[in-house]
A = this chain, B = another copy of it.
Amino acid sequence: MANGERRGPAHVTLARTLGVAIVTGDHPSGTVLPGELELASQFGVSRSVIRESLRMLSAKGLVESRPKAGTRVRERALWNLLDPELLAWMFEGAPSLGFVRSLFQLRMIVEPAAAELAAVQRSAAQLARMGDAVQVMARQGLRTQEGQAADQRFHAAILESTGNELLASLSSSIAAAVRWTTFFKYRVPLEYRDPIPLHRDLFEAIAAGDAAAARGVTERLIAQAGLDTERALGA
């Protein structure tokens, strides 16, 4: 690419560029984007790179190509919105308030149920991993690199404990998106409540095998994060 030097293969950065342009509404649904030749000269790459990028976008349901008709942006309802990369692209632009609310609403549906399952099904080893992670979080706090890594380990252990790989895949996609919202949060000088005590409560509920308590704590955790995020976005 003549402009925009980024790492990695060109088709990856190109797919990202085009994908962001689409999800941010630059190319509305139903419109056809420029032909492959034009895109190639526009971005200063070969047609091969353009085509491979478009394949990636079509694999995510963003576009569909047909001879003579060109490559058309599919309607938003057909996009694979839960694709982690697609979610990341959404947060490249300014995500709408409605979108963020949908995200937290989905969390509120899925994660309490996952916590319930984890409380009942977790193995001793999985529980131990959660315990370690909570300890590290308590020591390091959530602002440090290590603390955030421990937070991810904690939630990953919960997901694995559900024994449901579809649920795990869904939640990890959501988690990736939520990380972007927390990024926004930290950019804002607002104070928000410390989530670590709730994490400890969740760990104890899972350790006790108390499904109802695990659900309740998770709901409070998400509600708190949702409120804080909403305030940060409103500011």
Contact = CB atoms under 8 A, between A and B. Distances in A.
A141 B153 CA distance: 49
Given A106-B167, A109-B110, A80 B84 contact: yes
Contacts of A113: 109
Point out which of A57, A102, A103, A168 has the most chain B C-beta atoms below 10 A from its C-beta.
A102
A82 interface: yes
Interface stretch (A47-55, A196-204, A225-233): A47-55
Contacts of A168: 77
Point out which of A76, A79, A165, A169 has the most chain B C-beta atoms below 10 A from its C-beta.
A169
A167 B102 contact: yes
Contacts of A59: 15, 55-57, 59-60, 83, 85
A222 interface: no
Query: 6 tightest CB-CB pairs across the interface, nearest first?
Result: A59-B59, A81-B169, A56-B59, A109-B113, A102-B164, A55-B55
